[in-house]
Structure 1
């Protein structure tokens, strides 16, 4: 119930010409087919590369990384990414004072648990997760020699049959398969008016079938204590179709013109009329499409390997939305606590995120642009 409640409650030179695509009316068939999203993504990419062409920073057209959807990566690149994650699960943790943290992969669970009450349905939701995914990619590089680029997962491409998703089909080029079938499933599909998932038990097929989850769940007496168990998944195509489809993704981008509403619609924030009707919305929809343990745990979900590609898609949406009207989309909205509970002041661009010991403190204004600050990437 906790995850459900939290999710549900939860300038450049004028001489540069930018393409504008947001706000135009689109045929529903073009939205549902992915044509509109593809066009918006291409426009955002072109606009970002145009900005990069006149940038005086260290990020250039020559060294910028291009993040791609999982199925567009060559098989060898998918395997290299997966092996780097497996390597991270063998490296010692930086959070040595947390009894349940046994690996460098576990560090990201510790970090997420600490920040969760402040970086969801708040002013720093998007920037936190942008810096978080970047930090994960850096650790893959620095600790495990990863040479590739962080991928993302477009949920809507797999809503017809999640068990056949190239991300979760159990092949060597996937992140492992679904959990074993548990009668009735383990996902909260019924709570949201969706069908039950198709798994629910331990992952037995493919990569990460031998992975041990070391911490959680959040409902445990001491959630950060050592609690070894198998990775469980409960893939759910119906949740994907209802809340993480191509239509859902596209309409968040096309139907919002300010950051406050954009992030509200991403999260199904019930405080806004337009987002209150979205239920899980794409953020919760993507999480619960994977489900299981720890994927269905609001606090410990980063201990699910698919988390990083899911939030890569959230960041990709943010990148596209920003770069459709860059001059007006470099700000934040909301307070510094989740759903403003307890009530707090409004967040500002000068607020900071301190990821020590994994990464240094950064102001939110430093995390606005994927081709500036600590970043140097775009989305294909």
Structure 2
């Protein structure tokens, strides 16, 4: 039967389902193929919808809940509409005053991420900040640009055999654009080099201009127009963002501290060291390039939001497999606790104005709680 993974006592909330639990017993072949992840995802989705049915709110019901979908499960015309909405954000006004580089609302999300990076990575805030961040991005696509389709995520492991062939990056009109032109370069000393490195050569965002950055600049918020570069890297995807990595990260994480450590490869936890760059780094550096490989400015890469959609999907699954015990937070409020800082709490306030709103982290725990979210993953 191979290596067996067991997840026990998965409680669903709601009076009608009280006491119901599941045991998962997966052969290694099911973990490696994605069958186990599909089962976990379906169980988590059904648990969330059962909670919603038992306790609908004025802003979230089973009729109004949105279903987020993997990119290749979205019809082609809807994918093209999503790209058009992103291009619309790239033409909408920047909302940050006193900066000269950012030109658009799309750029404003890059400014926000730049400012908050030291507090929302390898910290208590990582998962819930990014949940609010990509939801706010989705809301801008809808309210400013009229997008009505599903919000996409990218399940990296489906492309661990060849990122260049992925429907996300194949350069077709229903993709997020292609790899970059091949250029001779040594690549990143930590991640090696991919198969591109130059400007995106085909499909959507071929002519997109990155307006500012990189983080290594002495003045990263001043104008620095350049093409979008990608350096797709299948080796990184296969090693750090496979279906096996994703699934085992979920089922080998009994609490929030270890889950977010395993997700990010946080070496402060001995159990997390085996994951290396982990799925978070693996997804980012499967794309690579500029700004995709820039820790601070990676949201200026349009595919960033599909990558972090998958990160939030993992969090959604993990939470809803044991909802009663997974409405928690762990860690301090600075990256890697540098400088040393207090522990984060669910009553801390996350204010992302002028891009979005202000909420306590407690309000961000439940994607079907109506405050402010109303979505599940397929």
Relative to the length of structure 1, the TM-score reads 0.94
User: Mean alpha-carbon deviation: is it higher for 24-33 or for 268-277?
Assistant: 24-33
Q: Which residue of 1 aligns with 2:247?
A: 250
Offset of residue 141 of structure 1: 1.1
Q: Which residue of 2 aligns with 1:182?
A: 183
Offset of residue 185 of structure 1: 5.9
State the alpha-carbon separation in 2 of the partners of residues 150 and 39 from structure 1. 21
SS in 1 for 2:198: strand
Q: Which residue of 2 aligns with 1:378?
A: 376
Superposition RMSD in Å:
1.4
Q: Which residue of 1 aligns with 2:302?
A: 305
Q: Which residue of 2 aligns with 1:350?
A: 347
Provide, for residues 147-202 of structure 1, a one-character-per-residue CA deviation record: whole Å limited to 9, x for no partner.
1121100000011011110000000000100000012463x2x524xx52000001
State the alpha-carbon separation in 2 of the partners of residues 371 and 167 from structure 1. 28
State the alpha-carbon separation in 2 of the partners of residues 19 and 219 from structure 1. 52
Partners of 1:295 and 1:307 within 8 A in 2: yes
Q: Which residue of 1 aligns with 2:111?
A: 110
Asked if 1:36 is matched to 2:41, the reply is no
Q: Which residue of 1 aligns with 2:190?
A: 191
SS in 1 for 2:205: coil
State the alpha-carbon separation in 1 of the partners of residues 31 and 223 from structure 2. 46
Superposed, which structure 2 residues align to 1:217-228 within 5 Å? 217-228=214-225
Q: Which residue of 1 aligns with 2:258?
A: 261
Offset of residue 357 of structure 1: 1.2
State the alpha-carbon separation in 2 of the partners of residues 50 and 155 from structure 1. 28
Provide, for residues 129-148 of structure 1, a one-character-per-residue CA deviation record: whole Å limited to 9, x for no partner.
00000000011111111111
State the alpha-carbon separation in 2 of the partners of residues 251 and 347 from structure 1. 26
User: Mean alpha-carbon deviation: is it higher for 352-361 or for 223-232?
Assistant: 352-361
Partners of 2:53 and 2:61 within 8 A in 1: yes
Q: Which residue of 1 aligns with 2:330?
A: 333
Partners of 1:19 and 1:43 within 8 A in 2: no
Partners of 1:174 and 1:206 within 8 A in 2: yes
Relative to the length of structure 2, the TM-score reads 0.94
Partners of 2:197 and 2:230 within 8 A in 1: yes
User: Mean alpha-carbon deviation: is it higher for 342-351 or for 50-59?
Assistant: 50-59
Q: Which residue of 1 aligns with 2:74?
A: 73
State the alpha-carbon separation in 1 of the partners of residues 367 and 273 from structure 2. 29
SS in 1 for 2:306: helix
User: Mean alpha-carbon deviation: is it higher for 240-249 or for 349-358?
Assistant: 349-358
Matched positions, count: 365
Partners of 1:88 and 1:143 within 8 A in 2: yes
Q: Which of 227, 232, 252 in structure 2 is aligned with 1:230?
A: 227
Q: Which residue of 2 aligns with 1:5?
A: none
Q: Which of 205, 210, 213 in structure 1 is aligned with 2:207?
A: 210
Superposed, which structure 2 residues align to 1:116-127 within 5 Å? 116-127=117-128
